[in-house]
Chains A and B, each alone.
Chain A
């Protein structure tokens, strides 16, 4: 139950210091596992739900809440690798790992600079990060692994919109686990 204040490094939104939140270690373990479980479970019932990326939302949330780039990219790597591990032969381990590591790093770096507790801001960063996520995934798959992935701007835009809307509610739910 502590709130640390980071030194100000040039806020984009306000001159106030940005709070750093901490979480119970159990929450840090269980929330990603539950997110991956829900992702795997619900897509078995309704395939189109695969458009949602709950693990990525969890990465973004923890990264911006803890505002530490090192823990952000480690959290992203672990969650991404776990997500990878459930994939099939067409999905080598490391594809989500790399994308979520980058997302975790960038999100925590962004969290240091701006206040991301606002739903509007959350919507925008989730939208932006999903586009980045898809771009990095496409780049890794196509560029490094020569996979026949297809890029569709409309699909990415719609997926980002859906994730951003759902993300606002997911973050609201996860706010309950914050300790300050």
Chain B
């Protein structure tokens, strides 16, 4: 017996080690970890590796900041001037968009839509990965000590990244949207079709469950639908790269994520989302002229001054179609039953979703499209909506029958 053990010692040790690991695999398959749980060996490995990663990343950032902030200042002056002019231009743009957003919120209030506001975010740095080709998880330098919990959404200003799956005290594991276990509620922005975005072992992302007769084309934008209850609705995911007929009558839509998932440095973790009805009180009182402009096409236009104090386009300059669009929006509100299509079509606009210094707007483009798509009228709805007060020009195209009902007046 002793001779056999001695003779086959190496093979016996190999067999024992392999058997032990096979048992461990079987246990993991049989009893997967619950949400928030972490295997002890993972805790040890993370505790051994992440402090070093954090130290290196923070030192690297410190050196980079000092270099860029104090030493390498070439072209800064020119860049500064460029940025100033950009700010001026964007202020004007913002003033216009805020008008659109305000109107969209008023409509949502009337329709009792719930919006999801990103109330709080935490900025984090990506410090590592799993180090394997098959698993695409990322590690960030913020953990439970910073208020991070499993199932929180992780985003960048350009698009969503993934969700938190496991949290330790000083770091967290992120499951990116291109991981094979990932699934995100997604929708095609233009077509308003909802599906599920799945990752694949090779790192590609595919939008599934869109019927093959839908006119999906490369270049169309994909946004979050909010159906997974992790990502707020309307955040950018990516663009359609190709759409081919798949099996079971569904299209096989490959999506290129907007966020650079292969080269991430900083991300935002959404730590608090609040469901609330858009508060029309915040938008200021609705003036009598607003209501009149919607009801009486013949009211002369007053020079519009927007919320930011900037002069808007002269009221008389609005085209009849724009007037129509404004009138159309008021007609949508209470009179129409909130059919599912219309509900889908109106994207709750996270116009000012992020607060705090470390926070960035999640999706600035959502508001205008939401405002536009809320209006069921023809092609004029595609144009950016104008505030009704600024466009009450004579509406000769409006048939007398279209005169709004008094019950359609906004509640205030």
Chain A positions within 8 Å of B, measured between CB atoms, are 33, 36-37, 39-41, 43-48, 50-51, 55, 69-70, 73-74, 77, 81-98, 101-102, 105, 109, 137, 140-141, 144-145, 147-150
For residue B126, which residues in chain A have a CB less than 8 angstroms away from its CB?
Answer: 44
Contact status B128-A41, CB under 8 Å: yes
Assembly CA distance A9 to B13 (angstroms): 21
B29-44 interface (Cβ within 8 A of A)? 29, 32, 39, 41-42, 44
- Knowing A40-B129, A74-B17, say if A86 contacts B46 (CB, 8 Å): yes
Contact status B21-A97, CB under 8 Å: yes
> Can you give 13 contacting A-B residue pairs, CB < 8 Å?
A41-B128, A43-B128, A44-B126, A85-B42, A88-B136, A94-B22, A94-B28, A95-B25, A109-B10, A140-B25, A144-B22, A145-B25, A148-B201
Given contacts A45-B263, A55-B131, A141-B134, 11 further A-B contacts (CB under 8 A): A36-B45, A77-B21, A81-B41, A83-B131, A88-B165, A88-B173, A91-B137, A94-B28, A144-B22, A145-B29, A148-B180
Say yes or no for B308: interface residue by CB 8 A criterion: no
For residue A137, which residues in chain B have a CB less than 8 angstroms away from its CB?
Answer: 134
For residue A47, which residues in chain B have a CB less than 8 angstroms away from its CB?
Answer: 129, 203, 261-263
Contact status B28-A88, CB under 8 Å: no
Partner of A91, one of B14, B24, B135, B262: B135
Say yes or no for B133: interface residue by CB 8 A criterion: yes
Contact status A69-B10, CB under 8 Å: yes
Assembly CA distance A140 to B28 (angstroms): 14
Contact status B49-A33, CB under 8 Å: yes
Say yes or no for B1: interface residue by CB 8 A criterion: no
Nearest chain B residue, comparing its CB with the CB of A83: B131
Question: Which 9 pairs between the two chains have the least Cβ-Cβ distance?
Answer: A85-B45, A88-B137, A47-B262, A39-B131, A40-B128, A69-B10, A91-B135, A40-B131, A87-B135
Q: Chain A nearest CB: distance from B26 CB in Å? A: 8
Contact status A91-B132, CB under 8 Å: yes
Assembly CA distance A88 to B134 (angstroms): 9
Say yes or no for B310: interface residue by CB 8 A criterion: no
Partner of B53, one of A40, A81, A141: A40
For residue B28, which residues in chain A have a CB less than 8 angstroms away from its CB?
Answer: 92-94
For residue B18, which residues in chain A have a CB less than 8 angstroms away from its CB?
Answer: 98, 101-102
Nearest chain A residue, comparing its CB with the CB of B175: A88
For residue A84, which residues in chain B have a CB less than 8 angstroms away from its CB?
Answer: 41
- Knowing A90-B181, A98-B18, say if A70 contacts B53 (CB, 8 Å): no
Q: Chain A nearest CB: distance from B262 CB in Å? A: 3
For residue A88, which residues in chain B have a CB less than 8 angstroms away from its CB?
Answer: 130, 135-137, 165, 173, 175, 179, 181
Partner of B263, one of A46, A73, A98: A46
Which range contains the number of B residues in contact with the other chain?
A: 35 or more
Partner of B41, one of A36, A93, A144: A93
Q: Chain A nearest CB: distance from B127 CB in Å? A: 7
For residue B14, which residues in chain A have a CB less than 8 angstroms away from its CB?
Answer: 69, 73, 101-102, 105
For residue B264, which residues in chain A have a CB less than 8 angstroms away from its CB?
Answer: 44
Say yes or no for B56: interface residue by CB 8 A criterion: yes
Q: Chain A nearest CB: distance from B238 CB in Å? A: 16
Q: Chain A nearest CB: distance from B363 CB in Å? A: 25
Task: Bits for B398-411, please: 1 = Cβ < 8 Å to A, else 0.
Answer: 00000000000000
For residue B139, which residues in chain A have a CB less than 8 angstroms away from its CB?
Answer: 40, 44, 86
Contact status A44-B129, CB under 8 Å: yes
For residue B203, which residues in chain A have a CB less than 8 angstroms away from its CB?
Answer: 47
Q: Chain B nearest CB: distance from A77 CB in Å? A: 5
Partner of A93, one of B17, B42, B261: B42
Assembly CA distance A8 to B62 (angstroms): 56
Partner of B131, one of A45, A48, A74, A86: A86
For residue A95, which residues in chain B have a CB less than 8 angstroms away from its CB?
Answer: 25
Contact status B180-A50, CB under 8 Å: no
